[in-house]
A and B are shown apart, each in its own frame.
Chain A
């Protein structure tokens, strides 16, 4: 009886721990499927299905995250440089309320796709650990780069990865 009780308690603790340790998307994994409304009310929803066949760079950002705000204008330049070669950038905004994100976009217009994810549904699917985190996704859905944080010089490394990916298409 005592052993049974002990093992029940242990099983309960193990289950509780396992539920807390969901695994994050890593390089080599298949990217999760998401379907989110655009942050702009007059633009269509953005889903994985609408991005099929493209090299997609997914970035999670928020207006309260300083490194995110540094990276976004640089991503905009990169988008213009490579969009004709099949690059799509999807910068998922996790601001809640989304007006905080829109305030930033008013001052810094960005030309790529910006879905709104105020409840963190997509962030939960990707199991984002820190902000910003970005993912380079191949046309077949495989994640080939996971990049967390944003420091000066990171953009060169990201551009190299994107160039290599586009060359492989």
Chain B
């Protein structure tokens, strides 16, 4: 039982580094595409924001700029 628990612990420890594998700076071509942004259509999202603001009396906090290409 104890051995099984240790084996499971080791297995989960080995999975953690795999899940942490990051996308390197030069591999972000797909992430930099327009369709990968949170708001592919700024006009539509501005309209949605406006409707949401009018209905809910709240605004902001919807998205962050950029698609994660790591550019400026």
Q: Residue B61 at the A interface, CB < 8 A?
A: no
Q: Are A130 and B70 in contact (CB under 8 A)?
A: yes
Task: Give the residues from 8 to 49 in chain B that come closer than 8 angstroms, CB to CB, to chain A.
Answer: 9-10, 13-14, 16-17, 20, 22, 24-29, 32-33
Q: How far is the CA of A96 from the CA of B41 in the complex (A)?
A: 26
Inter-chain contact B10/A9, CB cutoff 8 Å: yes
Contacting residues, chain A, for B29 (C-beta < 8 A): 62, 64, 95-96, 100
The answer to the question of B54 belonging to the interface, with a C-beta cut-off of 8 Å to chain A, is no
Whether, in the assembled complex, A104 has its beta carbon less than 8 Å from a beta carbon of chain B, the answer is: no
Residue numbers in B under 8 Å from A95 (CB-CB): 29
A49-77 vs B, CB cutoff 8 Å, 1 = contact: the mask equals 00000000000101011111000000000
Q: Does B72 sit within 8 A of A, measured CB to CB?
A: yes
| A: interface residue count bin | 20 to 34
For chain B, the bracket of interface size reads 20 to 34
Closest residue of chain A to B20 (Cβ to Cβ) is A20
- With A13-B13, A16-B16 known as contacts, the answer to whether A67 contacts B72 (CB < 8 A) is yes
Separation of A108 and B71 alpha carbons in the complex (Å) = 20
User: What does the 1/0 interface line of A77-110 toward B look like (CB < 8 Å)?
Assistant: 0000000000000000011100010000000000
Q: Given A12-B10, A149-B72, A19–B24 Cβ distance below 8 Å?
A: no
Report the separation of the CA atoms of residues A124 and B72 in the bound assembly, to the nearest whole angstrom. Answer: 21
B63 at the A interface (CB under 8 A): no
Residues of chain A with a CB closer than 8 A to B25's CB? 60, 123, 128-131, 133
B6 at the interface (CB under 8 A from A): yes
| A positions within 8 Å CB-CB of B | 5, 9, 12-13, 16-17, 19-20, 60, 62, 64-68, 94-96, 100, 117, 120, 123-124, 128-131, 133, 149-151
Pick 19 A–B contacts, CB within 8 A, sort by A. A5-B6, A9-B13, A12-B10, A12-B14, A13-B13, A20-B17, A60-B26, A64-B29, A64-B33, A64-B69, A65-B32, A66-B71, A66-B72, A95-B29, A120-B26, A123-B24, A128-B26, A129-B25, A131-B70
A-B pairs, top 8 by smallest CB distance, nearest first, are: A94-B26, A64-B32, A16-B17, A123-B26, A120-B26, A149-B72, A67-B72, A64-B29
